[in-house]
């Protein structure tokens, strides 16, 4: 079970790198960010598929999306200087709470 979380974390990190690069592709008109995005998504889905061998797809996807949203939003805030208002921060707090509830209390993770 431990490796499933490692694979999921690696998948999330590759997805975050790929999504960050995607913003810099300018519609896939810039080569290096485009390659980073394509390779990043390919690796993200590969590691996600390893996780899905033994964990329920709904739970994995909820964790993947929630963590991805939080990481991408933080990168947008720090790197791209995108503003976050109070409703955005509250919403992300709910997302984080949901991911934590799934990880701490859900019995569906045990397969």
Number of domains in the chain: 1
Domain contains 111: no
Answer yes or no: are the C-beta atoms of 91 and 36 closer than 8 Å: no
CA distance 20 to 38: 12
Domain contains 9: yes
Task: For 87-109, write each residue's pLDDT tens digit.
Answer: 999 998 998 898 888 878 877 75
State the pTM of this model.
0.85
CA distance 71 to 1: 24
CA distance 24 to 7: 26
Per-position DSSP letters for 50-62, written without gaps between them: HHTTTS-HHHHHH
Domain contains 36: yes
pLDDT at 76: 92
pLDDT at 110 over 60: no
Domain contains 91: yes
Domain contains 41: yes
CA distance 60 to 47: 12
Range of the domain at 76: 2-105
Average pLDDT over residues 57-75: 90
Domain contains 110: no
Domain contains 73: yes
């Amino acid at each position: 079970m431990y490796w499933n979380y490692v694979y999921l974390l690696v998948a999330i990190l590759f997805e975050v790198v790929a999504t960050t690069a995607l913003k810099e592709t300018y519609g896939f008109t810039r080569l290096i960010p485009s390659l980073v995005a394509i390779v990043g998504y390919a690796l993200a889905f590969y590691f996600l598929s390893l996780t899905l061998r033994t964990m329920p797809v709904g739970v994995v996807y909820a964790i993947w999306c929630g963590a991805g949203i939080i990481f991408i939003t933080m990168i947008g805030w720090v790197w791209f200087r995108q503003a976050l208002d109070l409703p955005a921060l509250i919403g992300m707090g709910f997302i984080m709470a949901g991911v934590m509830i799934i990880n701490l209390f859900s019995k569906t993770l045990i397969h």
